[in-house]
Structure 1
């Protein structure tokens, strides 16, 4: 799943560790999501959406291969 998480995180000057702490996941999870190696769970996607005050669709988007 494509995402804008790295860009949004940088705009807020959050490290991966900062973001992980805020939303309650590991830094490795943030890294994997940003590198599109892992899709976030729905609760995690909602927490990210709420933090950045954007709809989930503005952060994550599915591309059918």
Structure 2
């Protein structure tokens, strides 16, 4: 193949990335921290969307 070296490099990069993602170990309270940070991000965003839609509802349909 003409591009065999490039293909081999791409396959090696993919294998290395898979190995890196498989070797990540979480500590004891990491899952709890991830959930708390997710809620900290999502709750204000959801409140913002609710306020925008409710204000539009009150303005246009009242």
- Return the structure number with greater strand share: 1
If the length of structure 1 is used for normalisation, what is the TM-score?
0.20
Q: Which of these two proteins has the greater Rg computed from alpha carbons?
A: 2
Q: Considering Cα pairs closer than 8 Å and 6+ residues apart, tell me whether 1 or 2 has the greater RCO.
A: 1
Higher share of residues assigned helix: 2
Give the TM-score taking structure 2 as reference length: 0.21
